[in-house]
Chains A and B, each alone.
Chain A
Amino acid sequence: MQIQEVPRSATAAPIVLLPGDPLYARLLRVPLNIWRTMTQSRKVTAGSAIVGFFIVVGLFGPLIITTNPNATGPLFIAPPSTAHWLGTTVVGEDIFSQLINGTRTSVFWGLGTGLVVTLLSVLVGLVSGYFGGWIDDLLTLLTNVSLVLPSIPLAIVLAAYFPRGPLTISLVIVVTNWAWQARVLRSQTLSMRNREFVVAARASGEHTWRIIFFEIFPNEIGLVVAGFVSTTIYVILAWAALEFLGLGDGSIPSWGSMLYWAQQAGALGGSLWWWFVPPGACIAILGAGLSLINFGIDEIADPRLRSERPPKVEKSRKEAVQTEKAVA
Chain B
Amino acid sequence: MRHVLRRILFYICAVWVAITLDFFIPRLAPGDPVAALVGRMSTKGYVTPAMQQTLSAEFGLNTHDALWLQYFKYLGNLLHGNLGNSIQYFPTPVVKIIGQDIWWSIMLGGVAVVISFTLGCLFGIISAWKRGSAVDTFLSPAMNFLSAIPYFWLALIMLFIFSYLLSWFPLSGGYDSANIDPGWSFDFIGSVIQYAFLPALTLVISSLAGWMLTMRNSMITTVSEDYVLMARAKGLSEPRVMFRYAARNAVLPNITGFAIAIGAIVGGQLLTEMVFSYPGIGYALFQAVTEQDYAMIQSIFLIITLAVLGANLLADMLYAFLDPRVRVERSA
- Give residues in A with beta carbon < 8 Å to B: 1-2, 140-141, 144-145, 148-150, 152-154, 156-158, 160-163, 183, 187, 233, 237, 240-241, 244-247, 259, 263, 268-269, 271, 273, 276-277, 279-280, 283-284, 287-288, 290-292, 295, 304-305, 307-310, 313, 315-316, 319-320, 323, 326-327
Contact = CB atoms under 8 A, between A and B. Distances in A.
B270 A154 contact: no
B168 to A, nearest CB: 15
B178 interface: no
Contacts of A233: 148
B301 A310 contact: no
- For chain B, which range describes its interface: under 10, 10 to 19, 20 to 34, or 35 or more residues? 35 or more
A9 to B, nearest CB: 16
Interface string B136-167: 11001000110111101110110110001100
A184 to B, nearest CB: 11
Nearest to B130: A309
Nearest to B281: A153
B46 interface: no
Interface string B17-36: 11001100110011101000
A2 B264 CA distance: 21
19 contacts: A145-B14, A148-B11, A150-B305, A153-B300, A153-B305, A157-B298, A157-B301, A162-B30, A163-B30, A187-B332, A240-B152, A245-B286, A273-B160, A276-B160, A283-B150, A290-B148, A292-B144, A308-B132, A320-B225
Contacts of B300: 153
Contact of A268 (B31, B159, B264, B305): B159
B73 interface: no
A145 B18 CA distance: 9
Interface in B302-332: 304-305, 308-309, 312, 325, 332
Contact of A153 (B10, B137, B301): B301
Interface in B267-288: 267-268, 270-271, 274-275, 285-286
A316 B271 contact: no
B304 to A, nearest CB: 5
Contacts of B226: 316, 320
B131 A307 contact: yes
A241 B31 CA distance: 25
List the 7 closest A-B pairs by CB distance, nearest first: A287-B148, A280-B153, A161-B29, A309-B132, A288-B148, A284-B149, A319-B224
Task: Kindly name the residue among A156, A187, A288, A323 whose own CB sees the greatest number of chain B CB atoms within 10 A.
Answer: A156
Nearest to B263: A150
B152 A241 contact: yes
Contact of B156 (A153, A237, A259): A259
B34 to A, nearest CB: 8
Contacts of B264: 150
B242 interface: no
Interface of B: 10-11, 13-14, 17-18, 21-22, 25-26, 29-31, 33, 131-132, 136-137, 140, 144-145, 147-150, 152-154, 156-157, 159-160, 164-165, 214, 217-218, 220-221, 224-226, 229, 253, 264, 267-268, 270-271, 274-275, 285-286, 289-290, 292, 294, 297-298, 300-301, 304-305, 308-309, 312, 325, 332
Nearest to B220: A304
A240 to B, nearest CB: 6
A307 B150 contact: no
Contacts of A315: 224
Contacts of B10: 141, 144-145
Contacts of A1: 214, 253
Contacts of A307: 131-132, 136-137, 140
Contacts of A240: 150, 152-153
Contacts of A152: 267, 270
Contacts of B165: 271
Interface SS of A by simple majority: helix
Given A157-B298, A263-B156, A309-B132, A145 B274 contact: no
A179 to B, nearest CB: 12
Nearest to B331: A144
A144 to B, nearest CB: 7
Given A2-B217, A149-B14, A157-B301, A310 B131 contact: yes
B150 A284 contact: yes
Nearest to A142: B17
Contact of A271 (B14, B18, B154, B164): B164
Contacts of B131: 307-310
A149 B305 contact: yes
B153 A259 contact: yes
B87 to A, nearest CB: 13
Contacts of B159: 268
Contact of A288 (B22, B144, B156, B271): B144
B150 A241 contact: yes
Given A247-B289, A309-B131, A268 B164 contact: yes
A142 B21 CA distance: 13
Contact of A291 (B147, B164, B305, B309): B147
Contacts of A290: 148
A187 B300 CA distance: 34
Contacts of A162: 29-30
B158 to A, nearest CB: 11
Given A245-B289, A310-B131, A316-B226, A163 B148 contact: no
